[in-house]
Structure 1
Amino acid sequence: MRKVMHKTEAAQMIKNGDEVVFNGFGSMGFPEELCEAVGTRFLETGQPRDLKYFFGTGQGVWDESRMIEHMSHEGMVKRVISSHFTPMIKINRQAALNQIEAYNMPLGIISHLFRAASGRKPGIITKIGLKTCVDPRNGGGALNASSKEKLVQVMEIDGEEYLFYKAPKPTVAMLRGTTADINGNITMEKEAIYVDPFATAMAVKANGGKVIVQVERLSSEMADLRKVKIPGIIVDAIVVESEQYQSMIEKYNPAYTGEIRLLDEDACHVLEKVKALNIAAGRKRHRNMLHSIIAKRASMELKDGVVVNLGIGIPELVPEASKKMNAPDNIKLTVESGVIGGYPSNGLSFGAAVNGEVLHDEAYQFDFYDGGGLDITFVGAMQVDKIGNVNVSRTGNKIIGVGGFINLTQSSKKIVYCFPFAGGGLKGQCRDHKLEIHQEGKYQKFIEHVEEISASGEFSVEIGQEVLYITERCVFTLTSEGIMITEIAPGISLEKDIIEKMPFKPLISDNLKPMDSRCFTCE
């Protein structure tokens, strides 16, 4: 097949100033060997330089020798548009130092912009992002002074406000699949997730660009037409790398692809092995008793038959906590990557799911979310202010990114924020089903004004969302007047342990109740 070439030859196809798009999700689906070849070319020749990157999730794993880091050398990058910056060390640093243009956009918006660009549409119109940090009245997603282009506009249609997001015009796609058939059609049978392979490739072809796909193997036969994710007619180059890993820590897990289905007990064992692999890779997450309290209380919001999305962090503990609280087990878990059902994986395999029921493109998943299909989302919070705004995306020069947070919090019927009352060294103990705080955290999570609005309390009030803020010592709900304490942990003093520790006085319910004592078992 004439399209098959060595990765060094494919790397020559990328020119100075190209806008490059990728299709990975975290550590999944990234064409690392191809990316490394492009980076090596730059180090040897100084080209290609001034590249512009456009992708959904951060294409990094907190390791300067992996993934997008190969193509993140100074001078190589001019601009990055992404939903998530924190795992990309070099790009994050350059953005913080104002050395590159950097824009943060919601993950679902980026996914839908690929689809818009593939049809040569100018962009998309949506309410997602109103009153948050991507609203042009709050910065328009620009992360530093170098980022001057207006990528988002406020529009009014039939008396209602919307945001218009400008579609990209990419010139190169660097993608990954499993198999290229005799005609260059790409299948993804060993990929745990698809993300948006066709829309990403077609966005480039619609702009007259080149599509390069890294695969594990070639086939001398025609692929099953129902399994083709990228048609060969839009593929310009194919690079074969036989040692592709499904994720950074797993060579291939057939339970992610539906090749095998496991008993529930065996599925849990698989996920425990994934946790061990993450620990071995240095991605251990510290969890303690206070986190368990929060997860247990959060699980009480589960109802029979609900469709759920779980964020990273404490929300990941909710399914296990629900078993201890006898919460309904007839729930459907979903992941932004495009998986519905099954058991979401974790750490460097986040995005995949064991025993998933449905796997479709990410753009369709966000159609489902934005269209109101999600009953409840459990997410974290870094800062919360008196009117219920939440910040998870930035603090000082530390750029994190919103990921799918804005889509989830502006479309779900119910939001449950799960986070400790304070951060950095908070310690406590349960005794006789009561909570004792032994050491306060070093920094406050409740502040007068959040540094950046990742989720808008005002927007939630306007559309009538039910919103809870669950900490280890109390539960708040969002009202039109601000956040209100509705539950308090047994053993906790309202004045001493809560109000005196906040820079503003929250509303207090006339029917203040104790949190369920089952949350405070000694574990």
Structure 2
Amino acid sequence: MGMGKETRVRIAMRAAQELKDGMAVNLGIGIPTQVADYVPEGIHVVFHAENGILCAGGAPLPGEEDAFLCNAGGYPVTITNGASYCDSSIAFAMIRRGCIDITILGALEVSEHGDLANWIVPGKRVAGIGGAMELAQKAKKVIVLMNHVNRQGESKVKNQCDLPLTARGCVKLIITEMAVMEVTDQGLLLKEIMLPYTIEDVVNHTEAALIIPENITYIQ
């Protein structure tokens, strides 16, 4: 159940469908950074980066990278019309003030209650929690993009997170290579399935209980 390039693109494209015109959006490291490449036609959003960019764009073409222009993860980006720069304290103030409509993050684990663990595996080196803590708590909507299972084949969609939490009850939507799940007051709602997976595949690889509606959308 690997995560090849085509699968990552499919997840990023699905996440981009959540963007609405005029939104301020922050993208986390990993698959989320690719969302900027798949914004639906006619939709204009402002991509925010914690290192001080407004109106960041998608990845540059090979050979067109600017050594002085990168996102908060250090990866090359482009800028779009109207872009501006600020220092990181102002960029974080925008987050803490609640100015970010959506943040799209990677995760190590997510619970059925929307708890997020995405910053450390105990015993392994880590640079720090970064901006995820503020984003998880202050963004108006948190979407997680991740593998459905870890390298040991264990579900990353949990009853309760085993790893140290980034924030509690923050995640609203989970998108994996297998499914799209919404965190609701009634529980985890299975909204969409990524073909060729089936309902049985998703249930068998999900530790958390799932609410399964009569009509489920299947994504090619």
What is the TM-score with the length of structure 2 in the denominator?
0.81
Distance 2:41 2:143 in 1: 16
AA paired with 2:11? I
- Say if 1:320 and 1:347 are closer, same or farther in 2 by CA, change over 3 A: same
Query: Which structure has the greater CA radius of gyration?
Result: 1
Residue in structure 1 matching 2:50, options 331, 336, 339:
336
Alpha-carbon RMSD across the aligned residues, in angstroms, is: 2.6
Distance 1:403 1:348 in 2: 9
Residue in structure 1 matching 2:164, options 452, 455, 460:
452
On the 8 A contact 1:339/1:352 being kept in 2, the answer is no
Residue in structure 2 matching 1:382, options 94, 108, 113:
108
AA paired with 2:212? I
Which whole-Å deviations, capped at 9, do the CAs of 1:121-141 have from their partners, x for residues lacking one? xxxxxxxxxxxxxxxxxxxxx
**Higher helix proportion:** 1
Distance 2:202 2:76 in 1: 36
How many residue pairs match? The answer is 204
Q: Does 1:423 align with 2:126?
A: no
Residue in structure 2 matching 1:507, options 196, 200, 211:
211
Which whole-Å deviations, capped at 9, do the CAs of 1:154-207 have from their partners, x for residues lacking one? xxxxxxxxxxxxxxxxxxxxxxxxxxxxxxxxxxxxxxxxxxxxxxxxxxxxxx
Distance 2:194 2:77 in 1: 35
- Say if 1:493 and 1:352 are closer, same or farther in 2 by CA, change over 3 A: closer
Q: Which consecutive residues of structure 1, in runs of 5 or more, have no partner in the other structure?
A: 1-285, 425-440, 461-465, 518-523
Q: Does 1:307 align with 2:21?
A: no
On the 8 A contact 2:149/2:205 being kept in 1, the answer is no
Q: Does 1:369 align with 2:95?
A: yes
Partner of 1:485: 190
On the 8 A contact 2:49/2:71 being kept in 1, the answer is no
For 1:509, what is the secondary structure of its paired residue? coil
Distance 2:94 2:37 in 1: 25
On the 8 A contact 2:32/2:105 being kept in 1, the answer is yes
For 2:212, what is the secondary structure of its paired residue? strand
On the 8 A contact 2:137/2:167 being kept in 1, the answer is yes
Measure how far apart 1:410 and its partner are. 1.3
**RCO higher in structure (CA 8 A, sep ≥6):** 2
What is the TM-score with the length of structure 1 in the denominator?
0.36
Q: Which consecutive residues of structure 2, in runs of 5 or more, have no partner in the other structure?
A: 59-69
- Say if 1:327 and 1:423 are closer, same or farther in 2 by CA, change over 3 A: farther
Which whole-Å deviations, capped at 9, do the CAs of 1:484-516 have from their partners, x for residues lacking one? 211112332212x1111222322223543223x
Distance 1:328 1:455 in 2: 33
For 2:104, what is the secondary structure of its paired residue? strand
AA paired with 1:448? N
Percent identical residues: 27
For 2:216, what is the secondary structure of its paired residue? strand
